[in-house]
Amino acid sequence: MINVEKKLILNRLKTKYQDLDALRKMKEQLDYYFLAGENYYLEKNNYQLNDEVILKKGTLMHGTFKKGSELQDIKENGLLASVLINDRQSKYPSAVGVWNLKWDISLKDYINFYSGGTIEMLSMRGERKTKVIPYNEMKNIIEEISRDDFVFRWKIEQTKEARFMPSLVQNKVQIAFIINGNNEYMENLKKGDILNQNYFDDNIVRNFVNKDYYEKFIKERQNKDDFFTDRESAILLGIPPCFIEGILVGREYEKDTNALKEIKKIFPECYICNLDGLVIML
Measured from the Cβ of residue 201, the count of other Cβ atoms closer than 10 Å reads 10
Q: Are strands 153-158 and 54-55 parallel, antiparallel or unpaired?
A: unpaired
CA 95/CA 112 separation, integer angstroms: 27
Angle between the N-to-C axes of helices 20-39 and 6-16, in degrees from 0 to 180, rounded to the nearest 10: 160
**Is residue 127 located within the same domain as residue 250?**
no
Which three-class secondary structure state does DSSP give residue 156? strand
Given strand 117-122, what is the order of strands in its sheet?
128-133, 117-122, 153-158
Question: 90 lies in a domain?
Answer: yes
Quick check: 249 pLDDT over 80?
Answer: yes
- Count the helix, strand and coil residues of the chain and give each as a percent rounded to the nearest 5: 40, 20, 40
Of all residues in the chain, the percent with pLDDT exceeding 90 is 81
Question: 85 lies in a domain?
Answer: yes
Q: Supply the pLDDT for residue 230.
A: 84
Question: 183 lies in a domain?
Answer: yes
Mean of pLDDT values over 205-226: 87
Q: How many domains would you assign to the chain?
A: 2
Answer for the pair 72, 78: CB distance below 8 angstroms, yes or no: no
**Is residue 46 located within the same domain as residue 128?**
no
Which three-class secondary structure state does DSSP give residue 11? helix
Mean of pLDDT values over 147-167: 95
**Is residue 143 located within the same domain as residue 232?**
no
Note the pLDDT tens digit of each residue in 57-105.
Answer: 999 999 999 988 889 999 999 999 999 987 677 889 999 999 999 999 9
Q: Supply the pLDDT for residue 2.
A: 66
Answer for the pair 273, 175: CB distance below 8 angstroms, yes or no: no
Quick check: 1 pLDDT over 60?
Answer: no
Instruction: Provide the phi-psi class of 203: left if phi over 0, else alpha when psi is between -120 and 50, else beta.
Output: alpha
Quick check: 216 pLDDT over 90?
Answer: no
**Is residue 73 located within the same domain as residue 127?**
no
Angle between the N-to-C axes of helices 69-77 and 257-266, in degrees from 0 to 180, rounded to the nearest 10: 30
Mean of pLDDT values over 197-216: 87
**Is residue 123 located within the same domain as residue 211?**
no
Q: Supply the pLDDT for residue 89.
A: 72
Q: 170 to each of 53, 159, 229, 248, 252, how far by Cα in Å?
A: 21, 12, 21, 14, 10
- Of 128, 158, 188, the residue that ends a domain is 158
Query: pLDDT band at residue 229, thresholds of 50, 70 and 90?
Result: confident
Q: What is the pTM of this model?
A: 0.93
Quick check: 111 pLDDT over 90?
Answer: yes
Mean of pLDDT values over 261-282: 97
- Range of 91's domain? 6-111+161-281
Residue 247 CB-half CA count within 13 A: 31
**Is residue 39 located within the same domain as residue 25?**
yes
- The phi, psi pair for 73, rounded to 5°, reads -60, -40
Quick check: 224 pLDDT over 90?
Answer: no
**Is residue 135 located within the same domain as residue 275?**
no
Query: Nearest Cα to 95, choosing from 230, 281, 233?
Result: 233
Residue 205 CB-half CA count within 13 A: 25
Answer for the pair 94, 126: CB distance below 8 angstroms, yes or no: no
**Is residue 197 located within the same domain as residue 96?**
yes
Q: 219 to each of 160, 191, 234, how far by Cα in Å?
A: 18, 21, 16
Question: 1 lies in a domain?
Answer: no
Mean of pLDDT values over 103-119: 97
**Is residue 134 located within the same domain as residue 268?**
no
Quick check: 48 pLDDT over 80?
Answer: yes
Q: 15 to each of 12, 18, 84, 92, how far by Cα in Å?
A: 5, 7, 11, 18
CA 87/CA 179 separation, integer angstroms: 24
Quick check: 3 pLDDT over 80?
Answer: no
